[in-house]
Amino acid sequence: MQDTEHRTNEVLNRTGTIVTLLLGIALGALGLMVMARQAAPSFWNGWAGRMLGRGTTIDVSQPTVVNKIQQLQRLETVVYTMDKVVSGQRENAILPDFLAGDRLLMVVHGEVVGGVDFSGLKSGDVAVEGKKIVLRLPTAQVFSTRIDNERTKVYSRQTGLLVSVDPNLETQVRQEAERQLQQAALLDGILKTANTNARSTLTSLLQGLGFERVEFE
């Protein structure tokens, strides 16, 4: 009976020793892993990434240059400064002008601004091939037509003896003057000039970003 108890105690002691040893090894390995992670985080992250099967994917399908161009928004590339003589009149179907007419002659000074709006530029409008870039530019447009009120003068005003001055006539003449200025700028090729200047500006910008060849569709 005593031999049996003695053998049982020996087995238990050996088992406890083995468990203690295994526990010590596990704790030691854990401590080494923590130390390795603190000492070499890049090594640990790479090892952990491989063990856990995780990878990193970076989407480069959107050309960075699109954001650079979009920051220009509405790029004003040309300003036409113009002077024009515009007249307007009111007539009576029966009475002559010196009795019921109203005539205004105005010397108009204004400007027409043209350029390209890049706010709607999409990634498909830009193709990058190494040091070469191909762009599809938006259509050039007239941004604004403005009359300079300080330099616009009423040259003459003739009003019939039987009528008063029409306050709306000058407003209508100014509106027609804006239309005439824009039409004159369009006939003179303001949109073509705006497009040419936009290409020149973008070429300088993109060459500054490292592109050696800049082409436009």
Check pLDDT > 90 for residue 183: yes
Coil/strand/helix, residue 142? strand
DSSP 153-202: EEEEEEE-TTS---HHHHHHHHHHHHHHHHHHHHHTTHHHHHHHHHHHHH
**pLDDT, mean of residues 185-212:** 91
Provide the percentage of residues in the chain whose pLDDT is more than 70. Answer: 68
The label of the residue with tokens 């491989």 reads 50
Check pLDDT > 90 for residue 167: no
What are the structural domain ranges in the chain? 2-52, 64-216
> What integer best gives the mean pLDDT of the chain?
77
The label of the residue with tokens 């090729």 reads 189
Q: Would you say 74 and 67 are in contact if contact means Cβ atoms under 8 Å apart?
A: no
Check pLDDT > 60 for residue 107: yes
- pLDDT tens for each residue of 41-68: 555 555 555 555 555 554 444 456 777 7
Residue 55: what pLDDT?
58
Ranking 14-28, 90-104, 122-136, 195-209 by mean pLDDT, the lowest is 14-28
- pLDDT tens for each residue of 142-163: 999 999 988 988 888 777 777 7
Confidence of residue 90 (pLDDT cuts 50, 70, 90): confident
Q: How far, in Å, CA of 176 to CA of 86, rounded?
A: 8
Check pLDDT > 80 for residue 134: yes
Q: For residue 127, which of 41, 61, 193, 199 has the smallest C-alpha distance?
A: 61
Ranking 44-48, 125-129, 203-207 by mean pLDDT, the lowest is 44-48
The label of the residue with tokens 């824009």 reads 182
Coil/strand/helix, residue 207? helix
Q: Would you say 194 and 140 are in contact if contact means Cβ atoms under 8 Å apart?
A: yes
Neighbours of 73 (CB within 10 A): 12
Q: How far, in Å, CA of 149 to CA of 49, rounded?
A: 70
Write down the pTM of the prediction.
Answer: 0.63
Coil/strand/helix, residue 152? coil
Check pLDDT > 60 for residue 33: no
Q: For residue 70, which of 117, 115, 118, 140 has the smallest C-alpha distance?
A: 118
